[in-house]
Structures are given as C-alpha cells and as structure tokens.
Structure 1
Amino acid sequence: MNLNELRDEAYSIAKANGWHEEEHSDEHCLMLIITEIAEAVQADRKNLHADVEAFKKYEHTLDFKENFERQIKNTVEDELSDVVIRCLDLAGLRSFSLCSVVTTDHEFKDYWANMPFFKFAYDSCCFLINDCAEDAVKTTISSVYRYCRHHSIDLDFFIRTKMNYNRLRGYHHGGKRY
C-alpha cells in the first residue's frame, strides 16, 4: 500500500468530516494518537478481536456500517488501524512525506513476535512524546505495521475498512468536539 496515497485519503476524509476547521498543535494531534493506543490496550485487556470471517460472510447480506460495528468496531485491530489513520491524517495536515517509512522487517522478527502488547503500546507512546511530530508519526506507523505483520494482523485490510467506515460517520462523527 502506498503510504503517501493513504495519507492523502485519510486527511481528505478527516477534512470532509470537519476535523480541520480549527488549527491544532502537533501536541494536540499526537495526544489523539495516544488515545487510540490506549483504546487498543483496553480492547486487548478485554480480548476483543475482529471477526474477519464473519465480516466477509455477511458483507453481502448486512449493511456495511452494521456489519462493521458488529464484527470489527472497538477491537484491537480496529484501534490499531485508528492509530495509523490518525498518524496518516497528521502527516497529511503537515505534508510529511512517508516515502521513507519501513513497514516490513525481517531482521527483528523475534523481537516483534515476542513483544507483549502492553510493551508495544508503551513504546509507541514513548515515540510520540519523545520525537518531533514528523519522526513520531513515521516511527509509529512503522512500528504498528511491524507489530501487526508479526502477529498475523492484516493492517492494510483494517485501515481500508476503517476508512470506508469513517466516510459514513459524518460531521465530527456525531458531535465530538475534537
């Protein structure tokens, strides 16, 4: 998946839903990414995982939004896709090029495969608060892709599916302030 194209798409969807009518600091945007990481941790604590098989089984019989909400919404996979989508959105807002982001890693496969979820989440938060916004976004996207790859999570599928869902959510997703 071309990350710069995905960046532009995520930013366009967010803008269409009213998320860029006010100027926000990088810290504001980075904190929203951290909230998505926290939501992923909560989903992991509750052992909530997407049921892709059921999602695909019902894709022609259920409305997309209803099917998404039943099978994917608020799961670890959904929240990890939100982490990346928020990173992509910030990259679009600030015009960060994502050409240098590495999403595959064969050298450290044992590192990623054996990393507990809470450690991955903690490290991701550290990247977001200790690096400049551009480096934080790139490192976070890279680490989420690598973690997912080594845990058999098809992150591209979840990002694409969540972006399709976000298109349907409307202005400020029904009343959120930011």
Structure 2
Amino acid sequence: MNLNELRDEAYSIAKANGWHEEEHSDEHWLMLIITEIAEAVQTDRKNLHADVEAFKKYEEIIDFKENFERQIKNTVEDELSDVVIRCLDLAGLRRFDLEEVESLMEMAESIKEGKGFIDLCYALSGISTCDDSTEEKVIAIIAVVLKYCELTAIDIDFFIRTKMNYNRLRGYHHGGKRY
C-alpha cells in the first residue's frame, strides 16, 4: 500500500467534492477524524461488519453504489477506512509525507494485547488531542489503525480503496453536509 499515493487520491476526491473551498484549522480536521472514530465505536456496539463475500458476489450484478451501501456502508470496516481516509485527506492538504507510517506500525504492536476495540478507539482519540504536531498525530493514527487491521485480518487497503470509489460518487459535500 503506497500511502503517499492514497493521500493524494483521498485529497483529490475531497477537493473535487468541495471539502477544501474554505480554509480550516488543523483542529477542525482532527475533530472530523474523531467523529469517524466515534462512528466506528457505534458500529462496533451494533456488531455491524462488512460482508465482503456478498459484495464481491454481487459486484457484477448490481450497481456499485447500491452494492456498497448494502454490504459495506456503516460497518466497522467502513468507519475504520473513514478514519484513515480523513487522515489521508488532511495529510494531502498539509502535504505530510507518510513514508514513516510503516515503521511506526511496529510501535503500535501492543494495541491488541488485552485491549478491546473501544480501547483502540479511545487511544486513537487520545492521539488526536495530544501535544504532538498535527503531522505526528496523523501518522500515528494511520499506523495504529493499519496495525489493528493487520492483527485482526481486516483488509483495510480493500476498504479504503472501495470507500474512496464510493466517495467519488457522492458529489458536492456528499449531498449537503456542512463540513
């Protein structure tokens, strides 16, 4: 997974959908990352998980958007991909280099030991609000999510790419959201 390429793609999609017409603070963007983390918690509470097998089974039969909305949208995997996509978008906006994310994934090794999903999300929220630079926060959040997905056999690359394809179809401000 080339994170710098994904960064540029995520930023390009967000810009095309009108998300960068106004200048916002880093705190604005970080809060939107936190909302995605909270949405991941809510989907986990409801035990909502993507049905990749059904998605792949129906991809030749039904419209991509409808298939995505039936099999993937509003699931734990979808919300984790949103966390990463928000980070990628902010990294694209601020031109952060994401090469060191993979080296930080080893640092995130302890995330699964005795901790549940909500503990992971709490840790991600803490990273979002710590005293590190925005670049360090974004890199750390991506590293922790990628490591968690690696440890839990979530193909986050598939979910990120699939969600970005879905986001391309959503249009200006995803149909009327303010931010």
Preserved contact between residue 19 and residue 172 of structure 1 (Cα < 8 Å): yes
User: Partners in 2 of 1:25 and 1:107 — Cα distance?
Assistant: 28
| Structure 2 residue 125 is the aligned partner of structure 1 residue 125 | yes
Preserved contact between residue 103 and residue 143 of structure 1 (Cα < 8 Å): no
The 1:39–1:102 alpha-carbon spacing in structure 2 relative to 1, beyond 3 Å, is: same
Structure 1 segments of 4 or more deviating over 3 A?
A: 103-111
Equivalence for 2:162: 161
User: Partners in 2 of 1:103 and 1:114 — Cα distance?
Assistant: 23
Equivalence for 1:93: 93
Secondary structure, aligned partner of 1:102: helix
Secondary structure, aligned partner of 1:66: helix
TM-score (structure 2 length as normaliser) = 0.95
Preserved contact between residue 113 and residue 147 of structure 1 (Cα < 8 Å): no
Secondary structure, aligned partner of 2:136: helix
The 1:104–1:128 alpha-carbon spacing in structure 2 relative to 1, beyond 3 Å, is: closer
Unaligned runs of 5+ in 1: none
The aligned length equals 178
The 1:96–1:147 alpha-carbon spacing in structure 2 relative to 1, beyond 3 Å, is: same
Deviations 1:13-66 (A, max 9, x none): 000000000000000000000000000000000000000000000000010000
Unaligned runs of 5+ in 2: none
The percent of aligned pairs where both chains have the same amino acid is 71
Equivalence for 1:177: 178
The 1:154–1:103 alpha-carbon spacing in structure 2 relative to 1, beyond 3 Å, is: farther
User: Partners in 1 of 2:165 and 2:51 — Cα distance?
Assistant: 17
Preserved contact between residue 104 and residue 146 of structure 1 (Cα < 8 Å): no
The 1:123–1:108 alpha-carbon spacing in structure 2 relative to 1, beyond 3 Å, is: closer
TM-score (structure 1 length as normaliser) = 0.96
Equivalence for 2:138: 137
RMSD across aligned positions (CA): 1.5
User: Partners in 1 of 2:89 and 2:115 — Cα distance?
Assistant: 27
